[in-house]
Structures are given as structure tokens and as C-alpha cells.
Amino acid sequence: MKKLPLLLPFLLLLACGQEETAVTEAECFQLAAGTHSPRLTQDDDDISVSYVKTSGEKSSLFVQPIHLPFEKVILKNELRSGTDWFINWADFPSVIKYKDSLGNKVQFSHWLQYSGEGTYDYDIYAAIEYSESKERFKLHKDTVAAEHGFLSSAPIPGGGLQVSWLDGRYTKSVENAGATQVDDHGHGGGGAMTLRTKALSDDTSVELDHRVCDCCNTATVATDSLIMVAYRDRSEHEIRDIAYVTKPTSDDEWSTPKLVHADNWEINGCPVNGPALAANDTGNIAVVWYTAPADLAQINFARYDPNADSFNFPILLDDEIPLGRVDIQLADDGAAYVTGITTKEGTDDAFLTLWTISPTDEVEREELTITSAARSSGFPKIALFEDKLYWARTVLGVEKEEQFVEVCWR
């Protein structure tokens, strides 16, 4: 294993009243005040953290390698900024590294930019950077001022990037949506939210599902043989269970949607709690998700069986009033690492909890750190890199300007 240089902690003075941060032993560093919404991305050489810094009306997207000498851990490597960005605790920018079909290293980033007067009128903008070239573009071709977001992406083996997102182009027009899609879930029109996807190199996108939950994150993975997109579905009777679609990497034909498991969660509104997918180099895929049928909140895990084109019966990870906001990584030996935000009866504390699921599905649980149940604490992210587990999260302060990103590993 490659020896990683030690990153000295970049510590900030915490304002009185900020949440505690230590439960499990780990190496950590903290970024400057005002940073939030981290994601982790990696390539063959290093692992990086992307994050947003908000100052007044301006928001900026940064990315930086995690393993650098202390003096370099500063606000640098700003990719994009703007005063017209849509910034949300659950729908936020990303950076991902991949290789194109020629083997060139490419960095993809995305952000959300207002397109109209409505609260949820925003488009997905993206940029790719490689060698000395940079390209900036709107990801989708429609010109409807409506919600477009909750993007997920995955490098395609052999080169390229698959991107998937929620697309609200029909939520503003009953005529375009069809007679059966008449509930826009408060987004200002007549149609339902849809799910779309495309290879980044393609000119057009494909609609995968014509009626999905309006504001739950999507998840996308790709193996040598298969591309999969998971999301929260929405039936005509407001059953909002996790569904998935697949296609062979060598084919353009997508499958019809299937449920990961029939939880039968009926809820007349979006829970803002989508699934997370992971795939390893051996082609295995696993999913984790939050659900609450009959008002019984739980976090479930399941492995994909490619021979049956279905997921195995779920393993219950938590049913003690979890909040969800899950993420997952899958090691090459089949071990899965799952995180989510949990609570305990009789206490006001919330925890970033880790479940380790062995290749034979034995489960171990531990609390990584105390966190906040508030929405503004966001969606913590995890990654595996060179035999270490990394996690990144937003730590809240008394004031919004005092929040910051913390990255830990062990």
C-alpha cells in the first residue's frame, strides 16, 4: 500500500455553542468558516474534497487534494463562483474525476444556476477540464424555467461519464406532461418530475421514468458490464419506494424501472432522502436507502444479483428513529461501508453512524461522530482510498457563517 503523507490538522477556533466533533479516533482537518456541502472524489493518485463557500450572495465551488502539507490547506483551487446559484442542503455542486475514451484525465464539475423567478427554477450547469482546455455548458437542452437537479454521476469503464438527474421540464405545463400527471408537488405547474440520464459525450438525454419523487437525490454507478441508476419512485397512489433502471455498457437500451424492494411507503410529499449506490472493481453493486412504511423509519441495505436482475432481500441496519441521509462504499472483497444519520431515544444527540457489512453480511455498527439533526448539516459523504475510510461533513455553528467542512480518515 502506498504510504500517505500525514496531513496536520487545520484547526479553527470553534465558536461557543458549536457541536462537538469527536467520538471515534481518526485524523481530521477542518476548512475555513463558511464552507459546507462537501463531496469526496478520487483518481489513481489522490483523493480530493469539493465544497462550497458562501459569503454574502456569492457562492464558490472549490476542490483540493486532501493529502497536502499543512501550509497548502487553504481556500484555493476555486473552480466556479456566482451570485445566481441555487444552494440547498440536499442539492449541491459536485466534482468528479474520470478518464475519457483516450485515457486522458478529465475533471467534471456541476452547479445549479437560477433560470427564472420561482424558488425552484434552476438549471444544471457543468464544466469539464482536461489538459489546458476548459468547457462550460448547460447539461440539459430544454429551456423551461423549472427545477433541474439532484445530479449523480459515475465514470464509465473504458472512458466517459454517465450523469443522471431529476428534470422538471414538465412540471410547468399540463399539456406537455400528459393527462395523468397533474400534481407538481408545489413546484408551480401541472406535470410530474422525471428522471433523465445521458453519457456526457451524448448530445441528448434519455427519460428513464416519467414520474418520480421531486426532491430525493439520485444515484448512478457503472461497472464493466452494467450502468445502474437508482432513485425514489412515485406511484399514482403516492407510494415512494426506491427503484432502479439498468443498461449494458455495450448497449443503448435501458430497462423498465424495477423496485429495489416493495417497502410500500405511502407519503404525500417528498422526504428528501434518496438512495446511495456503490460498485466495486469486481462488478458487485449494493444499495442503501431510508424508508418509513407505516411511520416506522429504517435504513436498509441490499446487494444486487445480476443473474436475477434484482436485489436480494434487504438487511435492516437501523430502526431506532434514523434520519437517513445515507452513503455507501463497496470494497473489492465485497465488504460494504454504510453511513447515515441516526438518533437515540431519550437523547437530543444525532450521530454520523457507520455500519460495516462483511462479504458474508455480518453487520457491525459504530458512531463515528456526534452531529446535528438539522437539515443544514447536509449529507455526509464517504470514500475508500488506499485501505482507508474517509468521511466529510458540514459542522454547524451558532451562526450560519460559522459552519465549516470537516474531513476525517482512519
Which residues partner with 387 through β-bridges? none
Nearest alpha-carbon partner for 303 in 326, 274, 280 = 280
DSSP 225: S
Mean pLDDT is lowest, of 43-47, 110-114, 236-240, 283-287, for 43-47
Nearest to 244 by CA among 298, 213, 208: 208
Q: Evaluate whether residue 66 is within a structural domain.
A: no
Say yes or no to pLDDT of 24 above 90.
no
> Cα separation of 394 and 380, whole Å?
7
On whether the CB atoms of residues 325 and 379 are closer than 8 A, the answer is yes
Is-contact 47 38, C-beta < 8 A? no
The answer to whether 384 touches 337, Cβ cutoff 8 Å, is yes
List, for residues 171-188, the tens digit of each pLDDT value: 986 454 433 333 444 444
Q: Is residue 294 part of a domain?
A: no
Residue 173, pLDDT score: 67
Question: Do the domain assignments include residue 105?
Answer: yes
Examine the pLDDT at 69 and tell me if it is beyond 90: no
Band the pLDDT of 13: cuts 50, 70, 90.
Answer: very low
**Type and span of the H or E element at 294:** none
Average pLDDT of the chain to the nearest whole number: 89
C-beta of residue 376 within 8 angstroms of C-beta of residue 393:
no
Say which range, 97-106, 172-181, 201-210, has the weakest mean pLDDT: 172-181
Tell me the three cell numbers of residue 6: 500525514
pLDDT attached to residue 14: 34
Q: Which residues are CB-neighbours of 38 under 8 A, at least 6 positions away?
A: 49, 50, 51, 378, 381, 392, 393, 394, 405, 407
- DSSP code string of 36-102: EEEEEEE-SS-EEEEEEEEETTEEEEEEEESS--GGG-SS--EEEEESSB---SSS--EEEEEE-TT
CA–CA gap between residue 10 and residue 76 (Å, rounded)? 14
In a domain, 231, yes or no: yes
Domain ranges, residue 116: 90-274
Residues 51, 326: Cα–Cα separation, whole Å? 18
Band of pLDDT at residue 76, cut at 50, 70 and 90: low
Q: Considering the chain, what percentage of its residues have pLDDT values greater than 90?
A: 79
Contact 226, 249 (CB under 8 A): yes
Q: Is the pLDDT of residue 160 over 50?
A: yes
Residue 177: phi and psi, rounded to 5, are -85, -30
* Domain-located, residue 128: yes
DSSP state, residue 193:
-
For residue 295, tell me if it sits in a domain.
no
Residue 23 confidence (pLDDT)? 62
Give bridge partners of residue 34 from the DSSP assignment. Answer: none
In this prediction, residue 19 carries a pLDDT of 45
Rounded Cα gap, residues 260 and 239, in angstroms? 13
**For the whole model, what pTM was predicted?**
0.90
Residue range 94-116: average pLDDT?
Answer: 95
Of 18-32, 112-126, 262-276, where does mean pLDDT reach its minimum?
Answer: 18-32
Nine-digit cell at 175? 399539456
Contacts of 35 (CB under 8 A, 6+ apart): 51, 52, 53, 62, 75, 394, 403, 404, 405
The confidence band for 68, taking pLDDT boundaries of 50, 70 and 90, is: low
Are 168 and 148 in contact by the 8 Å Cβ rule? The answer is yes
Q: Is residue 233 part of a domain?
A: yes
Let me know if residue 133 belongs to a domain. yes
Q: Write down the pLDDT at residue 393.
A: 98
Q: CB of 172 within 8 A of CB of 185?
A: no
pLDDT at 70 over 60: no
Q: What percent of the chain has a predicted confidence (pLDDT) above 70?
A: 88
Contacts of 268 (CB under 8 A, 6+ apart): 238
Q: Among the listed ranges 57-71, 134-148, 218-232, which one has the minimum average pLDDT value? A: 57-71
Instruction: Tell me the three cell numbers of residue 81.
Output: 463562483
Find the length of the chain. Answer: 410
Amino acid at 292: A
What residues contact 166, with CB distance under 8 A and at least 6 apart? Answer: 147, 148, 149, 150, 193, 194, 195, 212, 214, 215, 218, 231
Task: Find cell 445521458 and name the residue.
Answer: 198
Stretch 90-111: mean pLDDT, rounded?
95
Dump pLDDT digits (tens) for 317-355.
999 999 999 999 999 999 999 999 999 887 888 999 999
Look at the chain and report how many structural domains it folds into.
1
Question: Which cell numbers in the block locate residue 110?
Answer: 456541476
pLDDT value at residue 346: 79
What distance in Å separates the CA atoms of residue 355 and residue 322, rounded to the nearest whole number?
A: 13
- C-alpha span between 204 and 217 (Å, rounded): 22
DSSP track, 328-371: EEE-TTS-EEEEEEEE-TT---EEEEEEEE-TT--EEEEEEEEE
pLDDT band at 67 (very low <50, low <70, confident <90, very high): confident
Rounded to an integer, the average pLDDT of 210-224 is 97
| Structure confidence by residue, pLDDT tens digits, 362-385 | 999 999 999 999 999 999 999 999
Q: What CA–CA distance (Å, rounded) separates 287 from 289?
A: 7
